[in-house]
Structure 1
Amino acid sequence: MPLPFQPRIALFSVLILLALAAWQPVQARVIPDLYEVIEEVPSRGTTDRASASRRGLERVFVRVTGDQDIGSSPQLAPVLEKAQNYLQVYRYKTEDNQLYLHLAYDPRAVNDLVHQLKLPLWPANRPGTLVWIAVDTLQNGRDSLRQEDYPELFGLLDGIAAERGLPLDFPVMDLNDQRNMPLGSLWAQDEAAAQRAGVRYSSDATLMGRLLQTSGQRWQANWLLIHGGRSYAFDARGDSMEEVALRGVNEAANVLAERYAVSTGESDGVASAVLVEIAGIDSFSDYTRATQYLQELAQVSSAEVLAVSGDCLTVSLTTATPMASLRDALALNRNLKHADEGPMDLTGYRAPLGSAQNPLRYTWR
């Protein structure tokens, strides 16, 4: 029986909303499940749970520090042996006759351990990365990879991205994408084309890969990561397309972790005050969101509001982080738009960036 007119309209509206929700532009985002993992276990026994807890905590440390080799660190070994002490909750589930253990670790306890061990801390606010891949096989030649044509490969890429805590997205490869990023431009790793094609996705970072089959069992790949006005090139070799693809995403995570990880050990830098001015604060909600964001930045030890004048908020940030790293972190917040620099001082003198005379200037949007 057909639906009455009004319910059909309502259903159509819901479907539209769901479709819009499913397509979100890529952007820096807070990763909510950095401290949760799922492990296969042979039984519900205590020994198997302890082993799974150890493996799970090691995976969490890889995500939180950004160091894929952290598990081999001798200083981490005693912590991993007591992994169950840092669990918040665990539960079992069975799928296709396989038993799984879902483990959720205490974020505060893990972060405290990171500080105690003086390990790097990669904050949970991470750059959304848009991935374009082209492949050249001996049998079929050169083509762009589409998610619907290679679901297993893209599933593996999603898996390694989850293991590293890197928010990863793929273009839909519709006619717009094919026009903005033609195969020739993708294979050439054309940065200008990547910028044009990425506009619709509002990506923070772009990763382009070209995968070449050199023989029946040998592959090589060239990767280019574009982010924050910089480009990083790296290569991969392996026995399969999947292997060189996974290595590309893994290396991109290494690069971004190195850029954004915060040192928690003894720093040679001296904590100093950096002044930030944010215009466009038009409501108490804007004020609350802006100040809370600054106070929660991992790169900042304290944030003090100095003045509110009209729609302009002035905040003093205490940080030992280099200025370039602090600005990189601030650039990840889409609500902060970097304001144009002031006119050039032709006298040859300019106050240091971040000082009262030359604060970091942003607009809240």
Structure 2
Amino acid sequence: MKFSPAITNLSLSLMLALALCSAPSSHALVVDELYFQELPVQGQGDAERLRAYREALTAVILKVTGEERWLRDGSVERAVRDAQSFVQEVSYRSSGGGALSQTFIRIRFDQELVDNMLGTAGIPVWDRNRPSILLWLTVQGPDGQREVLGSDSEHPALELIREFSRVRGVPILIPVMDFEDRRSLPADVAWSLDEAAIRQASARYGADSILSGRVLSSPGGDLVGLWQFLFRDRVETFDSLETDLAAYMQSALTRVTAQLATHFAINVAAQPVPEQVTLRVEGVDDITAYVNLLSYIGSLAVVDNMSTSLLDGSNIELSVSLSGSTYLFTEFLTLGRDLVPGEPTVPQEAQGNVLHYRWVR
């Protein structure tokens, strides 16, 4: 996004320069390297490199859109066939030695080219500021004993979850299952998918969404389970039947990832006229807070440009032009947790497009 400050005195110009050049941009739930992919290859020949380009761009587009259905879009299929045109940087590395040596290709794609291709095709792009998923998974063993998996559990499902998180660029949190977790959510309660108990046990993690599941192995070897997905005030329950654990986890995680992507991804083609909103923020007590605020707002993909229209003590007013809706803008602010609704409270769209927030970082 672009900064276009309306106030041009020296001190404000200095603060804007600081915001652009030196402000930290580390906010919760930021997923980096969405446009980077590393793959094993058989060598550095042209044919193998072009194959890797196509495979890598497919993986990147899946991360950036969040939904598998877009891989079947004609524009995406043509882009994948011409994947080398989107490559920005490529390098190789090797690991191991002798007969165990493996070569990897490291590919970075041009974000602007990829995003423009998707935008022209009318395909929404999912920003790197992403909602987290807290995952409570209860497994029942052959002996009938139930266990809620924690981050230190030795169960193959955990590695599948972590791999999905890495490949798809989705922040997935696993509870620690310490004394507090076990007291708040005993295995039998977790198995029942008790919504109230799950929400209460999840509060300490501050996750943006909650996925709870249970799984048991049938006498025939099938994995049978039930899932509950909590996002905002919505509750969705769905069952699952698979023959192996990888497919069981993949189906549920793919489903909820697509829902979050649909909610947060920005379709520039569907927003031909930018929305304008005024953001009034209290609690900006010093230059550091001001710099961090501008850096944070500027990091949101839904923000096209903004200007500072008022500085009044610890209060600041920003005029913001959006590439998405005002509602989506407030949803991104909720993810960051650096701004909380102020007075008057404006949870979604404000009357007159004036939003009141307080800076709490």
Q: Cα offset for 1:59? A: 0.5
Residue type of the partner of 1:92?
R
Say which SS state the counterpart of residue 159 (structure 2) adopts. helix
Q: Is the Cα–Cα contact under 8 Å of residues 70 and 123 in structure 2 kept in the other structure?
A: no
**Aligned pairs for 1:147-296 within 5 A:** 147-267=151-271, 270-296=273-299
Q: How many residue pairs get matched?
A: 328
**Aligned pairs for 1:117-128 within 5 A:** 117-128=121-132
Tell me the TM-score normalized by structure 2.
0.83
Residue type of the partner of 2:204?
R
Q: 1:266 to 1:335 in 2, by over 3 A?
A: closer
Q: Is the Cα–Cα contact under 8 Å of residues 222 and 233 in structure 1 kept in the other structure?
A: yes
Corresponding residue for residue 22 of structure 2: none
Say which SS state the counterpart of residue 207 (structure 2) adopts. coil
Q: Percent sequence identity over matched residues?
A: 24
Q: Is the Cα–Cα contact under 8 Å of residues 268 and 324 in structure 2 kept in the other structure?
A: no
Corresponding residue for residue 17 of structure 2: none
Corresponding residue for residue 312 of structure 1: 315
Q: Structure 2, unaligned stretches of length 5 or more? A: 1-26
Corresponding residue for residue 46 of structure 2: 46
Say which SS state the counterpart of residue 29 (structure 1) adopts. coil
Q: Cα offset for 1:342? A: 5.5
Corresponding residue for residue 360 of structure 1: 355
Deviations 1:17-61 (A, max 9, x none): xxxxxxxxxx84211111122222222211111101100001000
Q: Is the Cα–Cα contact under 8 Å of residues 130 and 170 in structure 1 kept in the other structure?
A: yes
Q: Cα offset for 1:245? A: 2.0
Q: Cα offset for 1:235? A: 2.8
Say which SS state the counterpart of residue 79 (structure 2) adopts. helix
Say which SS state the counterpart of residue 234 (structure 1) adopts. strand
Say which SS state the counterpart of residue 265 (structure 1) adopts. helix
Q: Is the Cα–Cα contact under 8 Å of residues 28 and 204 in structure 1 kept in the other structure?
A: no
Q: Is the Cα–Cα contact under 8 Å of residues 28 and 127 in structure 1 kept in the other structure?
A: no
Q: Does 1:134 align with 2:131?
A: no
Distance 1:28 1:245 in 2: 25
Q: Cα offset for 1:120? A: 0.6
Corresponding residue for residue 35 of structure 1: 35
Corresponding residue for residue 11 of structure 1: none
Q: 1:270 to 1:82 in 2, by over 3 A?
A: closer
Tell me the TM-score normalized by structure 1.
0.82
Distance 1:164 1:342 in 2: 35
Distance 2:326 2:237 in 1: 25
- Greater CA drift, 73-82 or 147-156: 147-156
Distance 1:47 1:208 in 2: 44
Distance 1:170 1:331 in 2: 21
Deviations 1:156-177 (A, max 9, x none): 1111122221011211111111
Distance 1:297 1:147 in 2: 30
Residue type of the partner of 2:294?
T
Q: Is the Cα–Cα contact under 8 Å of residues 64 and 127 in structure 2 kept in the other structure?
A: yes
Q: Is the Cα–Cα contact under 8 Å of residues 161 and 249 in structure 1 kept in the other structure?
A: no
Q: 1:270 to 1:234 in 2, by over 3 A?
A: farther
Distance 2:238 2:106 in 1: 35
Give me the CA root mean square deviation: 2.3
Q: Cα offset for 1:313? A: 1.2
Deviations 1:73-95 (A, max 9, x none): 22122211222232222223234
Q: 1:101 to 1:91 in 2, by over 3 A?
A: same
Q: Is the Cα–Cα contact under 8 Å of residues 64 and 125 in structure 2 kept in the other structure?
A: yes
Q: Structure 1, unaligned stretches of length 5 or more? A: 1-26, 344-351
Higher relative contact order (CA 8 A, sep 6+): 2
Deviations 1:326-359 (A, max 9, x none): 221111112111225469xxxxxxxx71526xx2
Residue type of the partner of 2:339?
L
Q: Is the Cα–Cα contact under 8 Å of residues 211 and 241 in structure 1 kept in the other structure?
A: no
Corresponding residue for residue 150 of structure 2: 146
